[in-house]
Amino acid sequence: MAALATNIHAAKSLCDIVKTNLGPKGTCKMLVNGAGNIKITKDGSVLLSEMMIQHPTAMILCRAASAMDEITGDGTTSNVMISSNLMKNSEDHILYEGVHPKFIADGFNVALEKALKSLEELKVSVGTREKLDWEILANVAKTCTCTKLPRALALHIAHEVLESIKLIYRSDEPLDLFMVEVLHMRHRLASETQLVRGMVLDHGSRHPDMPKRIENAFILTLNCSLEYERSEVHSGFSYSSAKQRERLVNSERKFTDDKVQKIIDLKHKVCTPGSNRTFCVLNQKGIDPPALDMLAREGIVALRRVKRRNMERLTLCCGGNACNSVEELTEADLGFAEKVYEQMVGEEKYTFVEGVTNPRSCTLLIKGSSDYSIAQIKDAIRDCLRAVNNAIEDGYVLPGAGATELHIYNHLMRNLSEVKGKARYGVQVFAESVLAIPKTLADNAGLDGREVVLELLDIDNEYGRYVGLDLDTGKFLIPAAEGIWDNYNVKKQTLTIATTVAQQTLLVDEIIKAGRSMSAKP
């Protein structure tokens, strides 16, 4: 049983590291790499992915939590805590009372089944896809961000994220979070992070004579090379006079100039004199200096090397079509924006495309004075987007503030007598492990976790009300009334994955160093 004791010790050590991050009162961790770079975070997924972990059991817990984070975007800290507590609470039964780990694992299966049924009793609908309850979704966003950022900033970020979801949401289509561009500027205060109902590009025009601001602009989105390119096959040209060489250069130049001229002709067609219209070209490929000069003389704003990920966003934001050729361009291929302007921050240029009609993509522009705050906000926005998306996809949410875990504990203990044999130990261990979540929330708030949880259990058991913990007063609250909601899918995945990992680890009786050939096999 030496292997089991070692595994349990590793799980307890990992749990001790991450548990102080849990909840809105949790503390942060400072990560320092070999080069001295610093990152401050309380996001469990960031912490687990960037920590240097050597013990194989701790690595299993981290990988399981990270895999869950990729699917749901949340729940990594809770996952590690429940897995670790399942192993820790099994230690006395297995090592000192002689209960075989198989009975404990069987009890986990019984308890998991009952716990998942308990979730079905607790879940609350967020409405149909045609008529969502945006108030509940707003509270889901607040609950998510408040665990990762200071409260005032968290509420602001949650509001901006929810507004971005409203912009891109369509009841008859799956929600595509890729349509929300998350961009950061090291500029001003974190509280000035904002939703831009348009697109922000992290570069500007490359010609000094191009306008820095235009209004009522037609937007042409291109994926077409507007620069001189060498031929794909190796070729040579012999000439006997300078005129012949000049004709060759002019003919090569003419190929590119003709493509640019077609764009200029389209501009003249749609921007008639007195119409007060302007023209902007956003090209994924290159535009060489002579082509930029031609466009600048016509008052056209042109950006080259626009990132590929923004091409679909631009057409959904401004309208029009992304064109792969300048042949047969029409007005139907153009989008429209009320204003396109460039902003300088230090040596960096940013181009804003705003004033679009009915956009289906947008930009969350993060601002902050330091890389630490920017990274924290970026992680919080990522998790918040996933949390709201999960609530919409699931159609249900669960009461937060520890209410779900308290109800599961009472439900399991009330039905403990139905479990026969030694599997009852496993059910009891499962119930106590789930209770680690509200206990840790209380401990992180400076309260007596054991005493507070016992009071809440009595209220839940006696009145049958789904109560949670008020971290400010230490008293009970009704999560539904306070707007504290957790994701249904996150809780379900947390319980399922944590149980599976704990079962597999408890049934390990020896740790053996494998040879090189093991890594070559799938």
Q: From residue 486, give the alpha-carbon distance in Å to each of 126, 147, 479, 521.
A: 12, 12, 10, 40
Q: What is the mean pLDDT of residues 162-178?
A: 89
Query: Cα(502)–Cα(11) distance, rounded to whole angstroms?
Result: 10
CB burial readout 426-460, b (16+ within 10 A) else e: bbbbbbbbbbbbbbbbbbbbebebeebbeebbeeb
Q: What is the mean pLDDT of residues 212-222?
A: 93
* H-helix or E-strand spanning residue 414: helix 403-414
Angle at 299 between CA 271 and CA 315, to 5 degrees: 65
Query: Cα(435)–Cα(60) distance, rounded to whole angstroms?
Result: 23
Domain 199-358 has CATH 3.50.7.10: yes
At the top level of CATH, which class does the domain 2-125+421-443+488-520 belong to?
mainly alpha
Query: Cα(192)–Cα(431) distance, rounded to whole angstroms?
Result: 44
pLDDT digits (tens, 9 = 90+) for 247-302: 877 777 888 889 999 999 999 999 988 888 999 999 999 998 889 999 999 999 99
**pLDDT value at residue 138:** 93
- For residue 354, what pLDDT band results from cuts at 50, 70 and 90? very high
Q: What is the mean pLDDT of residues 12-35?
A: 87
Identity at 189, one-letter amino acid code: L
Cβ(81)–Cβ(437) below 8 Å: yes
- For residue 232, what pLDDT band results from cuts at 50, 70 and 90? low
- Say whether 340 sits in a helix, a strand or coil: strand
| Rounded (10°) CA dihedral 213, 217, 222, 227 | -50
* H-helix or E-strand spanning residue 94: none
**pLDDT value at residue 514:** 74
pLDDT digits (tens, 9 = 90+) for 109-152: 999 999 999 888 888 899 888 888 899 999 999 988 988 888 89
For the chain, what are the domain ranges?
A: 2-125+421-443+488-520, 199-358
**pLDDT value at residue 516:** 63
Q: What is the mean pLDDT of residues 485-490?
A: 90
The encoded tokens of residue 391 equal 């609530």
pLDDT digits (tens, 9 = 90+) for 407-442: 898 888 888 888 888 888 889 999 999 999 999 999
- CA of residue 356 relative to chain centroid, distance: 25
Q: From residue 304, give the alpha-carbon distance in Å to each of 10, 203, 298, 335, 455.
A: 52, 9, 17, 17, 63
Cβ(72)–Cβ(493) below 8 Å: yes
Cβ(12)–Cβ(505) below 8 Å: no
pLDDT at 27 over 90: no
